[in-house]
């Protein structure tokens, strides 16, 4: 019988060992930036499959989230006769919170899981080993471009999400519920602060982009090379990304607005 | 080995130790691979033949001992030197390990495009030459999932020789092949070795096929080299173990079972 203390100790050791490996892995992948500069085509390909292919889901989800914000916001604000501030409410919620957070959650489901599965399967079918033996470093050839594609795409996708949301709020608030169009835009312009709101939102989505893509590529690279191993790694990517996004969001919000 | 032979040896494995967890896979193996020859490494499955190839390729590190390629200790090289050295080695994985998202043509072109700046017209010619050598020029537009196992291995072979390596390593090239593609592969390995002046390492447990083309054979089991010699020498060996293996007998000094507690103990221990 293994006693509970031993089990706790063993899982703690495994956890920290893996965490250590993940950090070395990240350093190694980031270091590959310099050789990637020589071959920008690798990055462009990944920007397409990681970023551009996530475009549609971000576009549609952003629109609906903004429309709901418009409805709910209008319902509450009209109690106080403050419907003209609907634009501020919609934009602030999106730019500060919902844009970075929801876009990152969608991104981990759409692109993160695909990255893990792709890299895990490449490992399981010995394609990564095969590359190594062809003297092609899979860290440079496969991991680095995917990591940077994720890091670059995330802030842009979050910005697009927020923009679509603001449009959605506009359609519902101004189009359906009769909020004054001039008030919607001008209140938004005067109350949303560039550094406090927009820059902080961009910083958040940048951090989420690093973390989500890091988790995704590491889980794939470190997966057990069997079908079950890859399927578990894919699940872990989505679950761990969600925890990381929501947890970090709290920390970052506390630091920025606290 | 005497001094005269020394320059002829491409890969020198000395006192190789390696373990997975606490289970020793190699405990003091010595192997020499001669230039220009086909060296076979044979042994029952699970003895660590694939592991040996990965050790030679520098994908795994020995716990003790050294592996030298052209006099350089593979495991003391920096990462960039190791990658340079690997250009001189081709390796055929059991699965073929083709890149699944690009065509046969692009797979063979892959190492050429990665490592040279040759114009596309030249790449095209080179790829067709390599594919012609393995008889699959007509299959160049197929995707890897449209190939049979034997074809995939031949494509992998074409890719393995794309950069004209010094040495090529085959991991179980004959396993799971029908007699015809088996024959094709046997001929191909011999032909390519002789025509290109390569050094070949064939890891296998298919005794007959391997013996028919090997110049020198190592029999590995239990982490050490049990016997080595030319096919004639091994066939004439008086060792029981060697005879068991060379004749493919199921029972003998070599065991069919993975190491375990005694069967009785195991059954009596009940469910834990
Ligand atoms: N990734 C691994 N993790 C743990 N043990 C392994 C791994 N790969 C192989 N082994 C073990 O190492 C031994 C040698 O494996 P391998 O080199 O594949 O044998 P062979 O190619 O001779 O059949 C096997 O008994 C196997 O259990
Ligand atoms: Mg094997």
Q: Does the residue A107 lie in any domain?
A: yes
Pairing of strands B64-69, B224-229: unpaired
Whether B90 and A136 lie within 8 Å, measured CB to CB: no
Whether B86 and A137 lie within 8 Å, measured CB to CB: no
Cα A3 to the center of its chain, rounded Å:
40
Whether B114 and A136 lie within 8 Å, measured CB to CB: yes
Residue closest via CA to ligand 1's atom 27 equals: B46
At residue B231, the pLDDT reads: 87
The tokens for A58 are 């971000």
Which of B135, B184, B192 shows the shortest CA–CA distance to B167? Answer: B192
Cα B8 to the center of its chain, rounded Å:
19
- Residue of chain A whose Cα is closest to the Cα of B99: A127
Residue closest via CA to ligand 1's atom 6 equals: B20
pLDDT at A148 over 80: yes
| Residues in the 5 Å CB sphere of ion ligand 2 | B 50
At A75-93, the pLDDT tens digits run 999 999 888 899 999 999 9
The string over B24-45, giving b where at least 16 C-beta atoms fall within 10 Å of a residue's C-beta and e elsewhere, is: ebbbebebbbbeebbbbbbbbe
At A181-219, the pLDDT tens digits run 999 999 999 998 888 889 999 999 999 999 999 999 999
Which residues 123-142 of A are in CB contact (within 8 Å) with B? Answer: 125-127, 129-130, 132-137, 141
Instruction: Tell me which ligand sits closest to the C-alpha of residue B47.
Output: 1
Whether A136 and B59 lie within 8 Å, measured CB to CB: no
Check residue B258 and report its DSSP letter: P
At A99-110, the pLDDT tens digits run 999 999 999 999
Residue closest via CA to ligand 1's atom 4 equals: B20
pLDDT at A243 over 60: yes
Q: Does the residue A1 lie in any domain?
A: no
In terms of pLDDT, which residue wins out, B174 or A243?
A243
- State how far residue A126 is from chain B, nearest Cα, in angstroms: 5
10-residue averages of pLDDT along chain B (272 residues)? 63 91 89 92 88 92 91 90 91 87 93 91 92 88 89 90 91 82 86 90 87 91 88 83 73 61 77 65
B90, B95, B111 member nearest A125 (Cβ):
B95
pLDDT at A169 over 80: yes
At A215-229, the pLDDT tens digits run 999 999 999 999 999
Q: Is B140 close to ligand 1, i.e. is its CB under 6 Å away?
A: no
Domain count, chain A: 1
Query: What predicted TM-score, i.e. pTM, was given to this entire model?
Result: 0.87
Cα B64 to the center of its chain, rounded Å:
21
At residue B98, the pLDDT reads: 92
Which of B51, B53, B201, B205 is the best mutation target for the ligand 1 pocket, counting ligand atoms within 8 Å of the beta carbon and taking the most?
Answer: B51
At B158-213, the pLDDT tens digits run 999 888 899 999 998 888 777 887 888 888 899 889 988 899 999 988 888 888 89
Asked whether B60 and B18 are in contact (CB, 8 A), the reply is: yes
- State how far residue B3 is from chain A, nearest Cα, in angstroms: 31
- Residue of chain B whose Cα is closest to the Cα of A42: B114
Q: Does the residue A14 lie in any domain?
A: no
For residue A211, the enclosing domain spans 50-257
Residue closest via CA to ligand 1's atom 7 equals: B20
The tokens for A153 are 């795409």
Mean pLDDT of A118-133: 93
Mutation for B interface: A135, A138, A146, most B CBs within 10 A: A135
Count of beta carbons in the 10 Å neighbourhood of residue B139: 17
Mean pLDDT estimate for chain A: 93
Asked whether A100 and A206 are in contact (CB, 8 A), the reply is: no
Q: Which atom of ligand 1 lies closest to the CA of A225? A: 1
In terms of pLDDT, which residue wins out, B196 or A115?
A115
Whether B98 and A127 lie within 8 Å, measured CB to CB: yes
- Concatenating the DSSP letter of every residue in A84-142 gives GGHHHHHHHIIIIIIHHHHHHHHHIIIIIHHHHHHHHHHHHTTHHHHHHHTT--HIIII
The tokens for B120 are 């596309």
In terms of pLDDT, which residue wins out, A134 or B4?
A134
Count of beta carbons in the 10 Å neighbourhood of residue A253: 15
Give the C-alpha separation, A243 to A103, whole Å: 14
Q: Does the residue A226 lie in any domain?
A: yes
Q: Does the residue A4 lie in any domain?
A: no
Q: Does the residue A66 lie in any domain?
A: yes
- Residue of chain B whose Cα is closest to the Cα of A123: B97
Q: Does the residue A19 lie in any domain?
A: no
pLDDT at A162 over 50: yes
Q: Is B25 close to ligand 1, i.e. is its CB under 6 Å away?
A: yes
Q: Is B51 close to ligand 1, i.e. is its CB under 6 Å away?
A: yes
Q: Does the residue A17 lie in any domain?
A: no
Q: Which residues in chain A are contacts of B94 at CB distance < 8 A?
A: 126
């Amino acid at each position: 019988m293994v006693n509970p203390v031993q089990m706790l100790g063993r899982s703690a050791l495994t956890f920290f060992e893996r965490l250590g490996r993940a950090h070395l892995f990240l350093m190694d992948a980031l270091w590959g930036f310099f050789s990637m500069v020589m071959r920008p085509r690798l990055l462009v390909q990944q920007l397409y499959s990681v970023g551009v292919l996530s475009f549609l889901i971000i576009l549609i989800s952003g629109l609906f989230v903004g429309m709901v914000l418009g409805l709910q916001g209008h319902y509450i604000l009209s109690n106080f006769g403050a419907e003209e501030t609907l634009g501020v409410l919609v934009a602030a919620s999106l730019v500060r919170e919902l844009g970075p957070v929801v876009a990152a959650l969608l991104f981990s489901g759409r692109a993160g899981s695909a990255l893990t599965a792709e890299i895990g399967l490449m490992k399981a079918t010995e394609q990564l080993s095969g590359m190594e033996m062809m003297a092609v470093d899979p860290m440079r050839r496969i991991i680095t471009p995917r990591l940077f594609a994720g890091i670059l795409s995330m802030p842009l996708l979050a910005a697009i999400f927020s923009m679509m949301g603001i449009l959605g709020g506009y359609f519902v608030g101004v189009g359906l519920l009769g909020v004054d169009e001039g008030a919607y835009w001008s209140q938004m312009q005067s109350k949303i602060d560039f550094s406090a709101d927009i820059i902080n939102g961009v910083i958040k989505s940048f951090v989420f982009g690093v973390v989500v893509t890091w988790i995704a590529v590491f889980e794939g690279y470190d997966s057990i090379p069997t079908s079950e191993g890859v399927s578990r790694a894919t699940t872990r990517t989505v679950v761990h990304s969600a925890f990381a996004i929501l947890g970090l969001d709290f920390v970052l919000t506390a630091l920025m607005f606290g | 080995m005497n001094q005269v032979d020394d320059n002829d040896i491409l890969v020198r494995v000395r006192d190789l130790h390696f373990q997975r967890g606490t289970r020793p896979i190699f405990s003091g193996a010595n192997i020499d691979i001669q230039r220009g020859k086909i060296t076979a490494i044979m042994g029952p499955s699970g003895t660590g033949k694939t592991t040996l190839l990965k050790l030679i390729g520098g994908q795994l590190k020995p716990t003790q001992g050294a592996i030298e390629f052209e006099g350089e200790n593979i495991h003391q090289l920096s990462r960039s030197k190791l990658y340079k050295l690997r250009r001189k080695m081709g390796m055929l994985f059991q699965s073929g390990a083709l890149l699944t998202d690009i065509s046969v043509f692009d797979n063979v072109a892959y190492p050429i495009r990665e490592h040279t700046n040759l114009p596309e017209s030249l790449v095209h010619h080179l790829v067709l030459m390599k594919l012609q050598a393995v008889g699959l020029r007509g299959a160049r537009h197929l995707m890897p999932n449209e190939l049979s196992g034997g074809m995939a291995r031949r494509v992998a072979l074409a890719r393995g020789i794309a950069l004209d390596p010094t040495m090529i390593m085959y991991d179980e090239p004959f396993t799971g092949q029908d007699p015809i593609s088996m024959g094709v592969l046997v001929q191909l390995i011999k032909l390519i070795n002789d025509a290109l002046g390569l050094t070949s390492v064939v890891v296998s447990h298919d005794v007959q096929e391997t013996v028919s083309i090997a110049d020198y054979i190592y029999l590995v089991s239990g982490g050490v080299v049990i016997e080595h010699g030319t096919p004639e020498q091994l066939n004439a060996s008086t060792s029981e173990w060697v005879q068991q293996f060379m004749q493919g007998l199921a029972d003998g000094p070599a065991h069919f079972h993975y190491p375990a507690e005694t069967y009785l103990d195991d059954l009596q221990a009940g469910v834990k």
